Amino acid sequence: MRRNYMVVSCLALVIIFFAGIYDAQSAESKEAKQVTCTGKVVDEQGRPIAGVKITLYEMIYNEITYSYDIKNPGEVTTKNDGAFSFSRRIENDRYRYAYIIAEKEGLALGWANWRMRDGDADLEIKIGQPDALAGIVVNDNNEPISQAEVSIYMLLKGEGENKQYLSGGMATKLFTVKTDEEGKFIFTKLPAKATADFLVKKKGLATINTWKTSASLTYTAGQRDIKLALPVEAKIEGIVVEKETGKPAAGITLIVRQDRNRPAQEPFDSKDDGTFSVGSLARGSYIIELMQPSDELSDWVTDPVEVITEVGKTKSGLKIELSKGGVLEVKVIDAVNKEPVENASVGVNNRISDRYLYSRSDKKGIARMRLMPGDYQMNNVYKQGYSQQRLQDTVTIEDGKTERLEYELVGMPKIMGVVRDEKGEVLEGVKLKICPTGGKDDVTTDSEGKFEMTYDPAGWGGPQIPIMYLVCRHEERNLATAVQIEEDNRSIDVKLKPGVMLIGKVVDPNGNGIKEATFYVNLRASNWGSPIGRDFPVTDEQGRFEIQAIPAEHRYNLRAQAEGYGEISKEVDIEEIVNNCFDAGTITLPVANLSVSGVVVDDNDKPVAGARIFCYGDNQPHRDTQTDVEGKFTIEKVCAGRIRINADKTGATRLYGYIETEGGATDVRIVISERPTSTRYEPRRPSSLVGRPLPELKEVGIDLPSADIDGKIMLACLFDMEQRPSRHCVTQLAKQADQLKSKGITIIAVQASKIDQTALIQWVEKYNIPFPVGMVKEDAEKARFTWGVRSLPWLILTDTKHIIRSAGFSIKELNEKLEQFEGG
């Protein structure tokens, strides 16, 4: 008989208040759908270009190898209007996007990105005069190497929100050459000012990759003196065995990674005698681990093994020990129809090593993973068309046991409507964005002013769903508005108002204007800030800027940045807006002309290779890099002033540390050590109040007459007005207030976090809340603990003597709780 180790039947508390909206959406997500990308190719003056070859490359992500499978399903050539169009039928649910590549003789390569899972897109690809990158490949003796394979590993054009990367294997596919007899190489057709990093290979020598960080790539178009050195290869040799028996294991697929997301070589199999050998490695730190299939249960599992290699040497005697470990089974069902969800991606990470592992659900909605014993954090459960679940649940895996969990997925809500100007005329070309969850980018209204968009309420990554706004902007006429999305918003009619214009000047410390500085405009709410769009105008030759169509009556942060400089953020003060114009004045960006260098060591003062380095600080640009084999690092292009540097190394254990220093510092020393089991904050859980008296109401500002208290059943709702589930709960209670009052039940509500009192009063009045609403005082966390609150909203039901009989149930369970209470 099969034994069942059912430790947790359901750990997920899933947001289901959008159920009515989701019903059709979740059904849609199971079917293939047609998506279309249209666009136009233009020159630098915006004029259409004919005769451009447009190629669609479809990218399908592989969660196991952290790489993409590239397909080429179509090509077209632009006519006189420069237009192109592709349609694709999406028949499965793996994450996918596409590159639209534009090529014409004599011009630079152009490209745009199409996120296919977001649906239809309308793109513009601008191409201009080409530039080149050229150099030489040499060995350790500075001698040229012929027939070395040189590829562009990553290519970047544009600045700020206009950045466009060519990566995921796409740059390598389009830009790969062999060096000539003199070791020279050249890449033409590159966009002006584009930056790049290289991947270089030659048999018998180490493969090198110059990429360290996506924040800024290493080489700039126009450079002709690049020198890339290939040292003699390092090798790793070892054997794969079954841990219990010591028997060699053949045909086991392994992969070598430089870090968690970057394979150093293609996957390889152990030989018939269990041995393996992998070469072409550079000096550095690597991780060898088992390749786990995503669509079926692996036969084996093993801990990753870290190896440090040296030039020209072979690291031998490595042993990879296979075991059966334990199994995690996650069942995924649709929250509306309770049917199994096939092809859902389920991700977990080990709480010690921070290793991320994925699997996909089968036709029965079950995803299976074989894992090493230990504690794991449920990371996410996702399928296209559903709201992503960012999870906090922990599961412990034991040898020989199976742990089972179940999660419900909720389809993403859809909002549609019409946008009009002040006279009621429909508006075409209005840009729409949902803040802070984002949703689909580049949504614009059609010729009838209509729009339709889906969005993910949980997409912003916070623990609770925030207040959300639909931001609508028509830049040409300087019209804009930001409409709060309510629970019942499915179809809305939006009227734009005159927008606010942001003006100012960006200069360097000498007062000289900075050309092509870029901007972020972040809408600010109580607990979030979110960009309201992209493609804002850049500064002119004198550093002046003018940004139109900013919705009025909201708070914003304007952040300016430029290549070679730091960043400055300025608050847009509503009180300083005059005639719908805010003058930001002169924004002086600090020069980023310094570097910081140092070393990362562990508790034993040994250098740590392959540690990721991140730095940030007030007015500092964000930078990241990686330590070399000696634990050394250098961060380029930072500003004078204080800067914080974080170091993080994942492996068999996770090491972490940080230091605060100054731009320009050298010999910085960062000591990293093992963290506790998790860095996430896990709050102290209050004990249940069932069977205890209701806490004192006066402490939350509620003072009821005795007629409303004596002999009455009390129903208390602790909520947060800034969270959607809470608002929904209170408004639902308001609809039942008269019925409950007739049963002798007194309702109260308590705002369980400190907010502006006026805002709370206005919200209560707006929604005609008929019962008393109080608010906790200064220490909100302490108050919630006193009331036994574990999540919001939190319902509490007492008897006529005000002894708590039930707590923590949902609004849908209220009638059942009352019936049980009356029956008891």
Report the distance separating Cα 413 and Cα 23, nearest Å: 9
Structure tokens given for 418: 């019409």
Q: Within a domain: residue 734?
A: yes
Residues 6 or more apart whose CB falls under 8 angstroms from that of 86 comprise 36, 37, 56, 73, 74, 76, 98, 100
Report the distance separating Cα 720 and Cα 799, nearest Å: 25
**Residue 460 confidence (pLDDT):** 66
Q: Within a domain: residue 518?
A: no
Q: Within a domain: residue 279?
A: yes
**Is the C-alpha dihedral spanning 71, 73, 79, 84 positive or negative?**
negative
Report the distance separating Cα 527 and Cα 529, nearest Å: 7
- Rounded (10°) CA dihedral 796, 799, 802, 807: -20
3-state helix, strand, coil in the chain (%, to 5): 10, 45, 45
Angle at 605 between CA 599 and CA 610, to 5 degrees: 45
Q: Within a domain: residue 40?
A: yes
Q: Of 259, 289, 322, which residue sits at a domain end?
A: 322
Question: What is the rounded average pLDDT of the residues 684-713?
Answer: 84
For residue 797, give the 3-state DSSP assignment.
Answer: strand
Q: Give bridge partners of residue 403 from the DSSP assignment.
A: 328
Q: Within a domain: residue 681?
A: no
Q: Can you give the pTM of this predicted structure?
A: 0.64
pLDDT for residue 93 is more than 90: no
Tokens 């090493």 found at: 372
Q: Of 282, 304, 322, which residue sits at a domain end?
A: 322
Report the distance separating Cα 22 and Cα 25, nearest Å: 5
Report the distance separating Cα 769 and Cα 774, nearest Å: 12
Summarize pLDDT for 136-171 with one digit per residue, the tens: 999 989 999 999 999 999 999 987 667 889 987 899
In this structure, the answer to whether residues 719 and 800 fall within a common structural domain is yes
Going from the C-alpha of 519 to that of each of 148, 543, 551, 558, 619, the distances in angstroms are 41, 12, 16, 7, 14
CA 802 and chain centroid, separation: 46
**Is the C-alpha dihedral spanning 582, 588, 591, 597 positive or negative?**
negative
Going from the C-alpha of 104 to that of each of 42, 314, 486, the distances in angstroms are 12, 47, 48
In this structure, the answer to whether residues 612 and 667 fall within a common structural domain is yes
578 touches 584 (CB < 8 A): no
pLDDT for residue 217 is more than 90: no
Which range of residues forms the domain containing residue 330?
A: 326-409
Going from the C-alpha of 264 to that of each of 146, 201, 207, 254, the distances in angstroms are 23, 12, 8, 12
Going from the C-alpha of 332 to that of each of 11, 344, 596, the distances in angstroms are 12, 7, 47
Would you place residue 588 in the very low, low, confident or very high pLDDT band (cuts 50, 70, 90)?
A: very high
In this structure, the answer to whether residues 799 and 701 fall within a common structural domain is yes
Summarize pLDDT for 632-648 with one digit per residue, the tens: 999 988 999 899 999 98
Going from the C-alpha of 685 to that of each of 15, 511, 786, 806, 807, the distances in angstroms are 21, 55, 11, 17, 14
Least confident of 226-240, 288-302, 579-593, 763-777: 288-302
pLDDT for residue 511 is more than 50: yes
How many other CB atoms sit within 10 Å of the CB of residue 105? Answer: 8
pLDDT for residue 76 is more than 50: yes
Tokens 């004045």 found at: 585
Structure tokens given for 514: 């900075």
HEC-encoded secondary structure of 52-86: CEEEEEEEEEECCCCEEEEEEEEEEECCCCCEEEE
In this structure, the answer to whether residues 102 and 143 fall within a common structural domain is no
**Residue 61 confidence (pLDDT):** 67
Q: Where on the phi/psi map is residue 353: left (φ > 0), alpha (ψ -120 to 50), or beta? A: alpha
Q: Of 207, 229, 251, which residue sits at a domain end?
A: 229
Report the distance separating Cα 499 and Cα 561, nearest Å: 24
Q: Within a domain: residue 19?
A: no
CATH number at residue 719: 3.40.30.10
742: phi then psi, degrees, rounded to nearest 5: -65, -20
Q: Within a domain: residue 318?
A: yes
Nearest to 93 by CA among 112, 116, 121, 69: 116
Residue bearing the bigger pLDDT, 756 or 103:
103
Summarize pLDDT for 3-45 with one digit per residue, the tens: 232 222 332 323 322 333 333 344 444 455 788 889 999 998 8
125 touches 110 (CB < 8 A): yes
Would you place residue 684 in the very low, low, confident or very high pLDDT band (cuts 50, 70, 90)?
A: very low
What amino acid occupies position 725? P
Angle at 542 between CA 541 and CA 543, to 5 degrees: 95
In this structure, the answer to whether residues 140 and 224 fall within a common structural domain is yes
Residues 6 or more apart whose CB falls under 8 angstroms from that of 806 comprise 690, 796, 797, 817, 820, 821
Report the distance separating Cα 470 and Cα 551, nearest Å: 11
In this structure, the answer to whether residues 761 and 662 fall within a common structural domain is no
Summarize pLDDT for 329-354 with one digit per residue, the tens: 999 999 888 999 998 889 888 766 66
250 touches 274 (CB < 8 A): yes
In this structure, the answer to whether residues 140 and 119 fall within a common structural domain is no
For residue 816, give the 3-state DSSP assignment.
Answer: helix
Q: Within a domain: residue 745?
A: yes
Q: Where on the phi/psi map is residue 279: left (φ > 0), alpha (ψ -120 to 50), or beta? A: beta
CA 572 and chain centroid, separation: 27
For residue 542, give the 3-state DSSP assignment.
Answer: coil
CATH number at residue 113: 2.60.40.1120
In this structure, the answer to whether residues 110 and 134 fall within a common structural domain is no
Report the distance separating Cα 548 and Cα 390, nearest Å: 35
In this structure, the answer to whether residues 808 and 754 fall within a common structural domain is yes
The total domain count for the chain is 6
In this structure, the answer to whether residues 316 and 343 fall within a common structural domain is no
Report the distance separating Cα 582 and Cα 573, nearest Å: 8
Nearest to 189 by CA among 101, 149, 129: 129
Would you place residue 75 in the very low, low, confident or very high pLDDT band (cuts 50, 70, 90)?
A: very high
Structure tokens given for 403: 């742990």
In this structure, the answer to whether residues 243 and 316 fall within a common structural domain is yes
- Please name the helix (run of DSSP H) or strand (run of DSSP E) that holds residue 819, with its range, or none: helix 814-823
pLDDT for residue 2 is more than 90: no
Report the distance separating Cα 545 and Cα 567, nearest Å: 16
151 touches 198 (CB < 8 A): yes
35 touches 119 (CB < 8 A): yes
Report the distance separating Cα 803 and Cα 746, nearest Å: 14
CA 84 and chain centroid, separation: 30
| Secondary structure (DSSP) of 712-776 | -EEEEEEE-TTSHHHHHHHHHHHHHHHHHHHTTEEEEEEE-S---HHHHHHHHHHTT--S-EEE-
**Residue 792 confidence (pLDDT):** 86
CATH number at residue 257: 2.60.40.10
**Residue 493 confidence (pLDDT):** 92
Summarize pLDDT for 406-464 with one digit per residue, the tens: 998 888 888 899 999 999 999 999 999 988 876 555 688 999 999 988 887 766 665 56
**Residue 365 confidence (pLDDT):** 94
In this structure, the answer to whether residues 318 and 347 fall within a common structural domain is no
